[in-house]
């Protein structure tokens, strides 16, 4: 089973909730969730979906890599691994064996602002997974015998996914350069030297500090009713006592006054690539709908083969093999906006960079036609038109919004807010965010020949 870290660049969560294209004046329910809160502070959300006799349970904790103490990078992700290592009544590995025995699937993921655990099982097995998940919320037992070998597993994960991947190495270095002071500059998986220093005591202290019902949200989606979920949640999660949880106080970014540039050369790189990442507001921090405008900007500027950058650089000028843009607004404190391109085989990376920046400057200066903006908004919806038929899209969207301090209503109103974005708002967001001083340019290059 893979215990992989989730990156903040995952746009699926917010694209998934664009399940319906709606007019600016119409309010359309996306997932129609029902919610309640237990006496111990655990928030519970139920999304009924009776298309198949299956159910998904997810538990989201408002803690991630950005909540670690300096010098303990990777601890949140490490604890995610260790949550499968047994409790007072469940032996190490028994959790996963039980899920497999009943024909289910399970995994977990960690990001900067959250850690989440999920199981997908037949609807009649909901009580089984609730019992197991509630048990490890309060009864985790760790010893060096299980912790230290798992630490070796995480070290190998870092070697294989980051240290052996030039692309991942560049992303890590770019992230470090983008954030001058904020913990988003640390890798979720952690620095190698700091992973090696993680201990059983550190993991248990982190667990006791952050894993509490009043710091979590339980989401259940599938062939269930809210009454059934309420009864089971009160039975298994209700007795867990609430605990004091520290406020999420994090250092802020100082003013960014100078652009940065990172280049990585590797013999494993065959074709060069160019990228630029800008510091941007997130959904949680943006004002006047800027995050929604940035979502539309990423689509109209470089969201596919009909986007402006792809059309100009790949189709018309023929100097690039790829060109695009993306927006990641899922951070509690900050978001990111990125653009990228790669030359055709045998082409010049310098020529592509120069042409890309020319086209980007022209787009910001001239703006976009209203019909291009409308088409981009429809494409955003079309990318996830079937999302609400699945079990995971709703819990993902709502759980992630919860960890950002947003509400269920923010999720349900997402389509109409995207629909209401205007061309003027898109251009205002572009001029505000696409400032070179708040960017890091990344170059991935073949190793230079001496």
Active-site residue, from 80, 106, 133, 157: 80
Of the pLDDT bands very low, low, confident and very high (cuts 50, 70, 90), residue 56 is: very high
At 344-377, the pLDDT tens digits run 988 999 999 999 999 999 999 999 988 899 999 9
The number of beta carbons lying within 10 Å of the beta carbon of residue 330 is 28
Burial of 1 (0-12, 13-18, 19+ CB in 10 A): exposed
Which tokens hold the place of 299? Answer: 């689509």
Portion of the chain with pLDDT greater than 90, in percent: 80
133 catalytic per annotation: no
Q: Please give the pLDDT value at position 392.
A: 83
- Tokens representing 265 are 């050369």
The structure tokens listed for 289 are: 């709908």
In contact, 79 and 207? CB cutoff 8 Å: yes
d(CA 414, CA 397): 10
3-class DSSP assignment, residue 57: strand
d(CA 287, CA 237): 36
- Which architecture characterizes domain 12-236 according to CATH? 2-Layer Sandwich (3.30)
With 50 as the cut, is the pLDDT of residue 9 above it?
A: no
- Take residue 406 and report the two structure tokens written for it: 């947003």
CATH 3.30.830.10: which residues of the chain? Answer: 12-236, 260-446
What is d(CA 390, CA 398) in angstroms, rounded to the nearest whole number? 14
Give the angle 311-313-317 at the CA atoms, nearest 5°: 100
Burial class (CB in 10 A: 0-12, 13-18, 19+), 293: buried
Q: Which residue has the tokens 């000028």?
A: 317
Give yes or no for residue 1 having a pLDDT over 90. Answer: no
Condensed to tens digits (0 to 9), the pLDDT of residues 411-439 reads 888 888 888 999 999 999 999 999 999 99
The whole-number pLDDT of residue 32 equals: 83
**Per-residue pLDDT tens for 146-160?**
999 999 999 999 999
Closest CA to 329 of 282, 260, 273, 263: 282
DSSP string, 201-224: HHHHHHHHHH--GGGEEEEEEES-
The correct CATH number of 260-446 out of 3.40.50.2300, 3.30.930.10, 3.30.830.10, 3.70.10.10 is 3.30.830.10
């Amino acid at each position: 089973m893979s215990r992989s870290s989730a990156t903040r660049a995952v746009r699926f969560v917010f694209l998934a909730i664009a399940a319906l294209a709606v007019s600016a004046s119409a309010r359309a329910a996306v997932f129609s969730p029902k919610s309640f809160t237990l006496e111990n502070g655990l928030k519970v959300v139920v999304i009924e979906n009776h298309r198949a006799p299956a159910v998904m349970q997810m538990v989201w904790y408002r803690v991630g890599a950005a909540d670690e103490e300096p010098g303990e990078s990777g601890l949140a992700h490490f604890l995610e691994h260790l949550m499968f290592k047994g409790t007072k009544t469940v032996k190490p590995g028994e959790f996963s064996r039980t899920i497999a025995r009943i024909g289910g699937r399970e995994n977990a993921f960690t990001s900067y602002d959250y850690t989440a655990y999920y199981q997908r099982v037949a609807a009649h097995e909901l009580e089984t997974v609730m019992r197991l998940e509630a048990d490890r919320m309060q009864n985790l037992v760790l010893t060096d015998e299980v912790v230290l070998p798992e630490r070796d597993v995480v070290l190998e994960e870092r070697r294989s996914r980051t240290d052996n991947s030039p692309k991942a190495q560049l992303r890590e270095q770019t992230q470090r350069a983008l954030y001058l002071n904020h913990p988003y500059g640390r890798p979720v998986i952690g620095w190698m030297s700091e992973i090696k220093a993680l201990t059983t005591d550190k993991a248990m202290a982190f667990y006791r500090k952050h894993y509490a019902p009043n710091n979590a949200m339980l989401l259940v989606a599938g062939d269930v009713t809210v009454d059934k979920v309420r009864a089971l949640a009160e039975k298994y999660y209700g007795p867990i006592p609430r605990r004091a949880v520290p406020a999420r106080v994090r250092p802020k970014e100082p003013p960014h006054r100078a652009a940065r540039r990172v280049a990585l050369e590797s013999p494993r790189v065959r074709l060069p690539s160019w990228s630029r990442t800008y510091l941007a507001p997130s959904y949680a921090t943006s004002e006047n709908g800027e995050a929604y405008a940035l979502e539309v900007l990423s689509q109209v500027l470089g969201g596919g083969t009909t986007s402006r950058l792809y059309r100009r650089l790949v189709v018309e000028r023929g100097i690039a093999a790829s060109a695009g843009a993306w927006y990641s607004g899922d951070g509690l404190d900050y978001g990111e906006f990125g653009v990228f391109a790669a030359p055709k085989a045998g082409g010049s990376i310098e020529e592509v960079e120069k042409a890309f920046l020319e086209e980007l400057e022209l787009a910001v200066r001239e703006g976009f036609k209203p019909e291009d903006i409308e088409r981009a908004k429809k494409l955003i919806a079309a990318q996830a038109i079937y999302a609400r038929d699945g079990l995971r899209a709703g819990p993902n969207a709502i759980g992630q919004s919860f960890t950002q301090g947003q509400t269920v209503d923010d999720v349900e109103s997402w389509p109409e807010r995207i629909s209401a974005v205007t061309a003027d708002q898109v251009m205002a967001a572009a001029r505000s965010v696409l400032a070179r001083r708040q960017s890091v340019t990344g170059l991935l290059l073949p190793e230079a020949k001496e």
